[in-house]
């Protein structure tokens, strides 16, 4: 059976700031319905990789293809069209502070998808319900807890009907007691078949969610494979060390 | 720099286009006046221009068949305003001086202004003391008297200090406040001030030749010059002129 | 005393009309200054190197020259040289607006720069163009932050507008002089003018305060 065209294929991405190499020729791809989790020490380049994939950070070289179509980041129109199809979740939420939860979800629908207002509103309410925030549609970001903010940002991304979601440490800015609600939303997304690439330090959660884990260090992919293999029997010393250091590697399923 | 200038011009043009409609109205000639120069020109209780020159110009305009508007203009900038076509002529007690003659054309003279020094009414100063003492003088900025005093007294080594004011009444205020000792004004103004009850007195002439007073017109504007000149001559031949002078306290 | 009160009474409507002229000049200059200051600010924050340099020169130029010099330069210099018919009032609005644009652009620029980078990233990630991101996300927040600056700008412009009497704009200051020259009640009339200016300042800053309250988003304190 020929392998299907990946939803997203990243080829040989590099990024340097001055003399520091952040990404050193990273390649990976993800198929429909797959969930890949990036792990690795801080500064390994996970966040830069995710942001390079939708060109929020301009990589120095390398290509990104969505469903086989290579993206030209200098073609502004094509870039905007591409970004609509790639949902992005940030570590610190980046909700639009001047808009309510509803406004945050609506704005992309109205301004980017040019949906009429009523439709956009209905759609936004549906998405907020989906992340359990029906009662909070009229609240401003400053009136929401961190977990609620992150769920709004997930609803905002979902409303655009992305083909793939990139989640950049979605819970690392949250108090421990708020992490669960966000994890459960992400888990549900996974169960519903959303294609996702997630960077996290929550190894237990990653083990439970991931189809494949990717261990990054110093801007490179060091090792990748099924969670059990990476977490319990990693071939490389560095990966093993990292996994045992971080949250006791998490319990087996 | 060049970009800044071009930017300026672009903005200007835009404003012109926007406000262009406002200038389409029928051409009214504009008389630039010093609205702080009674009795020649000032603003009355109702906020309208009044004064000898205002009334005289109104008469001339009617006689010669043109429309006129009296535009209060800062005195120190009144000749630049005329040359920049912000105003069309100046009928506001303006003295004829050689320097001004180089810039503008003057009509026939309609009044001889006698320049005097005034001081507080209780002051015992004499003109001689004022000129040779170490005193403070006041004068209105941009006037013929200001120029004359600088050229003929200060540059010839007199020791007094000359304080310049935006208007003659402000100089009067400062005499009363004691900030200056004397001020150079026309007898017309001085009499007007005293009539209003200001505690000042004329101490005498300080040597400036009598000024001819006339209307000023742009040099190239001969048509208007003729109209004003002819109109003014006609006016001075009527009894109304004597009435006007009497009404505004001029002899 | 009674003479002073009579002078104020007689001249009151004339002065009030003058205050109205000041207000119109200021509001006109604020609006013109905003319309010009906004692209200046955007250019300084998001523009290329050359644009940034040109705009910085504009700001430097218009902040560096005293208002009166600029009024004369414009009214008797440029306007006369270009031989166009602009009233003193129009020139006052333009000149105050040009200067205000320089100041307003600096206020706005500061506000734009204070919006966290993540807001721009989030907008782009949704598929917004840079233009949309700026106008739908960054500016609405920056403008809220700029309102206190405008309040300040209004008060400054109001005081600056008194200087336009030098062009013969029939505003409060020149009218006060007119009445004083006729009645010789300078003290009383200048006090009246001062009070009118203070009332205008107070009313304007209150209005800005109300605007700020209206636009305030709960918990939005940056």
CATH number reported for the structural domain that contains residue A200 in this entry:
3.40.50.300
Q: What is the pLDDT of residues C108-162, one digit of tens each?
A: 999 999 999 999 999 999 999 999 999 999 999 999 999 889 999 999 999 999 9
**C85 contacts B84? CB cut-off 8 A:** no
Are A178 and A229 contained in the same domain? yes
The confidence score (pLDDT) of residue A3 equals 67
Q: Please give the pLDDT value at position B23.
A: 44
Helix (H, G, I), strand (E, B) or coil at A215: strand
Say whether residue C136 is in contact with chain A using an 8 A CB cutoff: yes
| Mutate which: B14, B72, B82, B197, vs C, most C CBs within 10 A | B72
Enumerate the H helices of C115-138 as residue ranges.
117-125, 130-132
In this structure, are strands B68-72 and B29-33 parallel, antiparallel, or unpaired?
A: parallel
Q: How confident is the model at residue C220 (pLDDT cuts 50, 70, 90)?
A: low
pLDDT score for A164: 96
Residue A184 near residue A211 (C-beta atoms within 8 A): no
Which of C114, C118, C126 best probes binding to A when mutated, by most A CB atoms within 10 angstroms? C126
Residue A90 located in a structural domain: no
Q: Name the domain boundary from A129, A144, A161.
A: A161
The domain total for chain A is 2
- Percentage helix, strand, coil for chain B under 3-state DSSP, each rounded to 5: 45, 25, 35
pLDDT, position B5? 46
* Same domain, residue pair A20 and A72: yes
Give ipTM to 2 decimals: 0.91
Interface check for A111 against chain C (CB to CB < 8 A): the answer is yes
CA nearest to A163, candidates A93, A73, A65 = A65
Q: What number is the average pLDDT over the span C176-198?
A: 91
Residues A60 and A112 in one domain: no
**pLDDT confidence of residue B154:** 93
CB-nearest to C94 from B15, B32, B193 is B15
Q: What is the DSSP letter of A237?
A: H
The encoded tokens of residue C56 equal 């910085």
Min Cα separation B33/chain C (Å): 10
| Nearest CA among B99, B37, B178 for reference residue B163 | B178
What is chain B's mean pLDDT, rounded?
A: 88
Q: Which of A146, A161, A176 is the last residue of a domain?
A: A161
Residue A2 has pLDDT above 80, yes or no: no
Contacts of C6 in chain B (CB under 8 A): none
Q: Do C144 and A98 touch (CB under 8 A)?
A: yes
To the nearest whole Å, the CA of C134 is away from the closest chain B CA by 24
Per the domain annotation, does A122 fall within a domain?
yes
Over residues B91-144, the pLDDT tens digits come to 999 999 988 999 999 999 999 989 999 999 999 999 999 999 999 999 999 899
Query: Which of A130, A161, A192 marks a domain boundary?
Result: A161
pLDDT of residue B40 exceeding 70:
yes
> Which parts of B120-247 fold into alpha helices (H)?
127-132, 144-149, 168-177, 187-195, 222-236, 239-247
Residues A33 and A108 in one domain: no
Q: Considering only alpha carbons, which residue of chain C is nearest residue A114?
A: C128
Find the residue in C nearest to B7 (Cα).
C58
B220 confidence band (pLDDT: 50, 70, 90): very high
Shortest CA distance to C182 belongs to which of B29, A246, B54, A112?
A: B54
> Can you list the domains of chain B with their CATH numbers?
29-112+212-247 (3.40.190.10), 115-209 (3.40.190.10)
Contact between C122 and A96 using a beta-carbon 8 Å cutoff: yes
Mean pLDDT confidence for B147-159: 93
Per-residue pLDDT band for A127 (boundaries 50, 70, 90) equals very high
Structure confidence at residue C4 (pLDDT): 86
**Which domains can be identified in chain C, with CATH numbers?**
2-215 (1.10.3720.10)
Q: Across the interface, do A80 and C127 touch by the CB < 8 Å criterion?
A: yes
Q: Is the preceding peptide bond at B39 cis, omega within 30 degrees of 0?
A: yes
| A147 is a domain residue | yes
What was the pLDDT predicted at A247?
53
Query: Residue C2 — very low, low, confident or very high, per pLDDT cuts 50/70/90?
Result: confident
Encoding tokens for residue A35? Answer: 């969930």
Q: Does B14 touch chain C (CB under 8 A)?
A: no
pLDDT the model gives residue A238: 76
Is A181 in the same domain as A251? Answer: yes
pLDDT in tens, B183-207: 999 998 999 889 888 899 999 999 9
pLDDT of residue A228: 85
pLDDT of residue A13: 95
Q: Do A110 and A31 belong to one domain? A: no
Would you state the pLDDT for residue C129?
A: 95
* Same domain, residue pair A169 and A251: yes
Chains contacting C (3+ CB pairs below 8 angstroms): A, B
Which residues span the domain enclosing A155?
Answer: 95-161
A95 contact C CB<8A: yes
Can you state the percent helix, strand and coil of chain A, rounding each to 5?
Answer: 40, 25, 35
- The DSSP H or E segment spanning C201 is helix C186-215
**Do A196 and A249 belong together in one domain?**
yes
């Amino acid at each position: 059976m020929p392998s299907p065209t990946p939803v997203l294929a990243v080829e040989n991405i590099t990024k340097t700031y001055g003399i520091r190499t952040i990404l050193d020729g990273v390649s990976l791809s993800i198929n429909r319905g797959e969930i890949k989790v990036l792990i690795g020490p801080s500064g390994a380049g996970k966040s830069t990789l995710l942001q390079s994939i939708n060109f929020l950070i301009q990589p120095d070289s390398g290509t990104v293809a969505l469903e086989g179509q290579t993206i030209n980041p200098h073609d502004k129109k094509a870039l905007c069209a591409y970004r609509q199809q790639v949902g992005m979740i940030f570590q610190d939420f980046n909700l639009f502070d001047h808009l309510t939860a509803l406004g945050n979800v609506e704005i992309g629908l109205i301004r980017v998808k040019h949906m009429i207002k009523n439709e956009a509103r209905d759609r936004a309410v549906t998405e907020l319900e989906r992340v359990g925030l029906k009662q909070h549609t009229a609240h401003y970001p400053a009136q929401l807890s961190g977990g609620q903010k992150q769920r709004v940002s997930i609803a905002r991304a979902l409303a655009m009907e992305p083909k793939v979601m990139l989640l950049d440490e979605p819970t690392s800015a949250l108090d421990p007691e708020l992490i669960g609600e966000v994890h459960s939303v992400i888990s549900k997304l996974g169960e519903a078949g959303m294609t996702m690439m997630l960077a996290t330090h929550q190894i237990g959660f990653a083990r439970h969610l991931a189809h494949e884990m990717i261990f990054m260090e110093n801007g490179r992919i060091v090792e990748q494979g099924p969670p059990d293999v990476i977490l319990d029997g990693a071939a490389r010393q560095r990966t093993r060390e990292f996994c045992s250091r971080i949250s006791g590697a998490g319990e087996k399923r | 720099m060049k970009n800044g200038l071009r930017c300026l011009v672009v903005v200007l043009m835009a404003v012109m286009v926007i406000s262009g409609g406002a200038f389409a109205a029928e051409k009214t000639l504009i008389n630039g006046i010093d609205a702080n120069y009674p009795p020649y020109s000032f603003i009355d209780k109702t906020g309208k221009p009044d004064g000898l020159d205002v009334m005289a110009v109104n008469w001339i305009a009617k006689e010669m068949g043109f429309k006129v508007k009296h535009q209060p203009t800062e005195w120190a900038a009144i000749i630049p305003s005329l040359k920049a076509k912000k105003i069309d002529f100046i009928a506001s007690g303006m003295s004829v001086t050689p320097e001004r003659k180089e810039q503008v054309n003057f009509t026939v003279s309609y009044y001889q202004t006698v320049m005097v020094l005034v001081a507080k009414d209780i002051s015992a100063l004499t003109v001689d003391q004022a000129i040779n003492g170490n005193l403070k003088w006041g004068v209105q900025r941009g006037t013929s008297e200001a120029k004359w005093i600088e050229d003929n007294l200060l540059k010839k080594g007199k020791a007094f200090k000359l304080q310049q004011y935006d208007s003659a009444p402000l100089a009067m205020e400062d005499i009363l406040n004691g900030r200056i000792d004397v001020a150079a004004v026309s007898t017309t103004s001085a009499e007007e001030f005293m009539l209003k009850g200001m505690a000042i007195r004329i101490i005498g002439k300080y040597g400036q030749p009598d000024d001819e007073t006339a209307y000023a017109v742009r040099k190239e504007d001969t048509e208007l010059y003729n109209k004003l000149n002819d109109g003014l001559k006609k006016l001075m031949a009527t009894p109304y002129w004597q009435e006007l002078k009497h009404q505004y306290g001029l002899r | 005393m009674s003479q002073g009160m009579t002078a104020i009474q007689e001249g009151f409507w004339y002065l009030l009309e003058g205050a109205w002229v000041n207000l119109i000049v200021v509001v006109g200059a604020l609006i013109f200054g905003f319309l010009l200051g906004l692209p200046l600010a955007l250019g300084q924050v998001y523009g290329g190197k050359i644009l940034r340099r040109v705009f910085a020169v504009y700001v430097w130029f218009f902040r560096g020259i005293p208002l009166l010099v600029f009024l004369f330069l414009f009214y008797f210099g440029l306007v006369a040289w270009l031989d166009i018919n602009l009233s003193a009032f129009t020139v006052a609005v333009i000149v105050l607006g040009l200067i205000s644009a320089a100041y307003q652009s600096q206020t706005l620029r500061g506000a734009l720069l204070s919006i966290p980078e993540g807001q721009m990233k989030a907008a782009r990630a949704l598929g917004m163009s840079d233009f949309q991101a700026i106008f739908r996300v960054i500016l609405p927040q920056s403008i809220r932050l700029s309102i206190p600056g405008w309040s300040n700008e209004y008060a400054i412009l109001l005081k600056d507008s008194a200087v336009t009497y030098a062009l013969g704009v029939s505003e409060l200051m020149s009218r006060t002089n007119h009445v004083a020259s006729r009645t010789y009640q300078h003290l009383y009339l200048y006090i009246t003018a001062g009070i009118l200016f203070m009332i205008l300042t107070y009313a304007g800053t209150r209005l800005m305060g109300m605007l700020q309250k209206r636009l305030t988003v709960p918990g939005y304190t940056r």
